[in-house]
Amino acid sequence: MGIVKRNSITITILSYLGIVVGYVNKILLFPNFLSEEQVGLANILVSMAVMYAQFSAMGINSTIVKFFPFFRTPDRRHNGFFFWTALGVSLGFVLFTTLFLIFREPVTEYYAQKSPLLSKYYLLLIPLGFTTLFFNFFTAWLQALYKTVVSSFVYEVALRLLVTAEISLYALGAIDFEQFIVGYVLIYFVPTLVLLVYTLWTRRIDLRPVWTGRTRRLLSVAAVYGLWQYLGGTSMYIVPVIDQSMLAGMRGLAQQAVYSTMAYMVAAMLTPYRSMIKVATPVVTNLWKERDMEGMRRISREMSLVNLIVGSFLFLLIWVNLDNIFSLMPGSYSDGRYVFLFLGLARVMDMYSGLNGTILVTSKKYRYDFTFSLMLVALTVASNALLIPRWGMTGAALATMITVLAYNAIRIASVWKFYRIQPFALSDLLVVVLAAGCIGASALVPPMGHFIADGLIRSALVAALYGGAVYSLKLSPEINRTIDRTLSRLGIRLGRRA
């Protein structure tokens, strides 16, 4: 886990810097200076752009990470892989944009009654989808080159600082909402342009096409893999958009605003997991290439346990401080309490599943993921259609939890059946017990009156109880070693290393 740990720690630090800025944007500025409908529009445009980019990419980004080791050459031309993949995503964008425009009228009619703002600004999805597509493309290339820090910085930190600047201009009355929403879309071009320049600056790619017998053979294999990734992997990106899109269509942008804000709060929990996945994916690819199954089992177990411990801790910190967070927002946002609960539990389950999804989609059994993904999409649509009319945004969150649990269970069972790899242990139940105990302990603390004092006391209590128990019980040797090394550099020794 050496390279995974080094890079993922750096990326996690950058991500949390971005989350601090993001929380200022999403918790303080957006809810207090934009109406709920305006917040909902800004959030759903970004979510839909992710779906737009995924459909346009045609599975090529996953193909880059998996097949780059096979295309790599010492002369850095890499059998023309950069040219062919760039051509592929460009054609994909043209094709999907054509379909997007063809179906413009029925889509805008669907949102016209409950979410008229979305219908009005529907065409902004084209430029936003374009820049999201190529940001993901360059990120995939840099990931394949083991250069993951810059993409994390420009997206997690720089982009959010630009959003802070723009919403501040709106709050000061320097721009109106139409200027704000257009500028909001244009801001997303900045990270893409930075990655374009950085990718070229590395001099690790070549823009010229290469067409040899080896290139043809590699591209034919990669194209088949990319097709299956497109058919199956797309669901992982569109499923989080399905609930928000259906909620906006059935209940309006106001509920979607609260739902998407809670989803953003939950996203903070996923930061370490995403950082590890980002770095671990090319490592898993190389383990498959070397047929190192023992290494695969080891990294799978380590990541699952670390993610359960860290994910549970982050869920605790937010949950015990939820009332303090709501005190900073308009009263209507407190209706999202159970939205956060269900989405948070879903993501803890997601994190605990570890590398199972990555192992499956990078293995020879990757075609199975297509079937699982179809099941996921069908279950997502059905559960949202059933639960949103009954319970609104809470129903959408419950539907997400159900689908995430079912999808991960199927993937875990498949990886065990095919490769006898599973990342779990009975001792992991101790983490769940510790988390429940910390929630109970926090409930015994009376309100402190001021949200800062209350938040500091509850956070310190949870950190001391949970962190102290995890360390003293040596639940994760990896976490203990990291803590010991960090404290050692500060001249603090807690005893023998785990």
User: Of all helices (H) and strands (E), which one includes residue 409?
Assistant: helix 368-419
- Predicted confidence at residue 477, as pLDDT, reads 87
Decide: 408 and 353 in contact? Cβ < 8 Å: yes
- Predicted confidence at residue 423, as pLDDT, reads 87
Specify the 3-state DSSP secondary structure of 252: coil
Give the confidence band of 49 by pLDDT, cuts at 50, 70, 90: very high
Dist CA 114 CA 105 (whole Å): 16
Residue with tokens 């559960």: 383
Residue 497 has pLDDT above 60, yes or no: no
Residue 136 has pLDDT above 50, yes or no: yes
Share of the chain above pLDDT 90, in %: 55
- Predicted confidence at residue 107, as pLDDT, reads 92
Instruction: Among 101-105, 262-266, 361-365, 467-471, name the one with the lowest average pLDDT.
Output: 361-365
User: How many residues are there in the chain?
Assistant: 498
Where exactly are the structural domains of the chain?
2-424, 442-498
Taking the model in full, what pTM does it have?
0.85
User: What token pair was written down for 117?
Assistant: 């703002």
Query: What mean pLDDT is predicted for residues 305-328?
Result: 94
Task: Report which DSSP code applies to 321.
Answer: T
Query: What mean pLDDT is predicted for residues 302-315?
Result: 92
- Predicted confidence at residue 326, as pLDDT, reads 95
Query: What mean pLDDT is predicted for residues 440-453?
Result: 90
- Predicted confidence at residue 400, as pLDDT, reads 94
Count Cα neighbours of 245 within 13 Å in the Cβ-side half-sphere.
21
- Predicted confidence at residue 169, as pLDDT, reads 97
SS (H, E, C) the chain: CHHHHHHHHHHHHHHHHHHHHHHHHHHHHHHHHCCHHHHHHHHHHHHHHHHHHHHHHCCHHHHHHHHHHHHCCCCCCHHHHHHHHHHHHHHHHHHHHHHHHHCHHHHHHHHHCCCHHHHHCHHHHHHHHHHHHHHHHHHHHHHHCCCCHHHHHHHHHHHHHHHHHHHHHHHCCCCCHHHHHHHHHHHCHHHHHHHHHHHHHCCCCCCCCCCCHHHHHHHHHHHHHHHHHHHHHHHHHHHHHHHHHHHHHHHCHHHHHHHHHHHHHHHHHHHHHHHHHHHHHHHHHHHHHHCCHHHHHHHHHHHHHHHHHHHHHHHHHHHHCHHHHHCCCCHHHHHHHHHHHHHHHHHHHHHHCCCHHHHHHCCCCCCHHHHHHHHHHHHHHHHHHHHHHHHHHHHHHHHHHHHHHHHHHHHHHHHHHHHCCCCCCHHHHHHHHHHHHHHHHHHCCCCCCCHHHHHHHHHHHHHHHHHHHHHHCCCCHHHHHHHHHHHHHCCCCCCCCC
Q: What is the DSSP string of 327-392?
A: TTS-GGGGGGHHHHHHHHHHHHHHHHTTTHHHHHHTSTTTTHHHHHHHHHHHHHHHHHHHHHHHHH
Give the confidence band of 292 by pLDDT, cuts at 50, 70, 90: confident
Give the confidence band of 498 by pLDDT, cuts at 50, 70, 90: very low
Query: What mean pLDDT is predicted for residues 164-173?
Result: 96
pLDDT in tens, 207-255: 666 666 666 676 777 777 777 767 766 676 777 789 999 999 999 999 9
Give the confidence band of 494 by pLDDT, cuts at 50, 70, 90: low
Angle made by CA atoms 236, 240, 243, in degrees to the nearest 5: 135
Instruction: Among 36-40, 88-92, 289-293, 486-490, name the one with the lowest average pLDDT.
Output: 486-490
Residue 95 has pLDDT above 50, yes or no: yes
Most confident listed range (4-13, 218-227, 264-273): 264-273
Q: What is the widest separation between alpha-carbon atoms in the chain?
A: 72
Give the confidence band of 163 by pLDDT, cuts at 50, 70, 90: very high
Dist CA 213 CA 20 (whole Å): 51
- Predicted confidence at residue 214, as pLDDT, reads 67
pLDDT in tens, 270-282: 877 877 787 788 7
Q: Which residue has the higher pLDDT, 295 or 336?
A: 336
pLDDT in tens, 349-373: 999 987 888 898 888 887 787 788 8
- Predicted confidence at residue 18, as pLDDT, reads 86
- Predicted confidence at residue 356, as pLDDT, reads 87
Task: Report which DSSP code applies to 155.
Answer: I
Query: What mean pLDDT is predicted for residues 461-478?
Result: 92
Give the confidence band of 462 by pLDDT, cuts at 50, 70, 90: very high
Angle made by CA atoms 17, 18, 22, in degrees to the nearest 5: 125
- Predicted confidence at residue 224, as pLDDT, reads 75
Query: What mean pLDDT is predicted for residues 71-86?
Result: 69
